[in-house]
Structure 1
Amino acid sequence: MTIEDARIYCLSKPHATEDMPFGDDYVAFRIGGKIFAGLPLEKPNLFVLKCDPEMFDEMVAQYSAIEQAWHWHKRLWMQIHLDDAEISSELVKYLTDQAYQLVYNKLTKKEKAELEL
């Protein structure tokens, strides 16, 4: 999977938006104004995803191409090396779905109602 594939997949999620909150070298993907994924453009093969601590531990133990995301909260954000052969498109999509759902589930009832999911 390329970063453009990851971008397209993130934007295919209902009500997902993208912006550049940290300058022109980082694209963030949001649901309800909260970030669920990111692409650090200065590192073109990295994809950053929100995760829960249990998933983080499992993924880091299983895949050498998944590690703690640089500059993000430990065990709540993982970064994936998309150019590593052990990382399939299906895995990236699954982890993206999990990140999206994790953030969506933490939205308030009012925020969810505004999205009309």
Structure 2
Amino acid sequence: MTFDELRTYCLGKPATTESTPFDETTLVFKVAGKMFALSDIDTRPVRVSLKCDPERAAELREEHDAIEAAFHMNKRHWNTVTINGSLRDAMIRELIDHSYELVVSGLPKATRLLLSHSPAE
């Protein structure tokens, strides 16, 4: 998965926005103002930090060398995935989906209802 493919996949999620609130190269993806993914535009191999269920986050770190605790993030809830060919693109997409869904599940009910009625892109 390339950076452009990662960006396109994240932006394909309903109500997703992107911004660079931290610096000029760290691209942050948010749903309803809440971050679910971030990646540096210039870093190669591509690395993306994603929210994850704490138990699953620990399991993934043990099982995959390309997954580690996210730097400068709550290490219990965030993993950084290095996209270096060792993980299948389908797994990376599933981890992005999981992060997005975790964030959406924590949104107020009214916001979740609005998202569920968003037109498909």
- With structure 2 as the length reference, what TM-score do the two structures score? 0.89
Determine if the alignment matches structure 1 residue 24 to structure 2 residue 27: no
> Could you say what secondary structure the match of 1:101 adopts?
helix
**Once the two structures are aligned, what percentage of the paired residues are identical?**
34
Give the ranges of 4+ consecutive aligned residues of structure 1 lying more than 3 Å apart after TM superposition. Answer: 113-117
Determine if the alignment matches structure 1 residue 87 to structure 2 residue 65: no
Q: Provide the aligned length of Structure 1 versus Structure 2.
A: 116
- Any gaps of 5 or more consecutive residues in structure 1? none
- 1:111 deviates by 2.4
Q: Determine if contact 1:3/1:82 at 8 Å carries over to the other structure.
A: no
Alignment root-mean-square deviation, CA: 1.3
Aligned to 2:12: 12
Q: Deviations over 1:8-54 (max 9, x none)?
A: 10001111111111121100001110000011234231111111111
Aligned to 1:72: 73
In 2: Cα distance, 1:28 partner to 1:8 partner: 13
- With structure 1 as the length reference, what TM-score do the two structures score? 0.92
In 2: Cα distance, 1:65 partner to 1:24 partner: 25
- 1:112 deviates by 2.3
- Any gaps of 5 or more consecutive residues in structure 2? none
> Could you say what secondary structure the match of 2:24 adopts?
coil
Q: Determine if contact 2:3/2:41 at 8 Å carries over to the other structure.
A: no
Q: Determine if contact 2:50/2:99 at 8 Å carries over to the other structure.
A: yes
> Could you say what secondary structure the match of 2:57 adopts?
helix
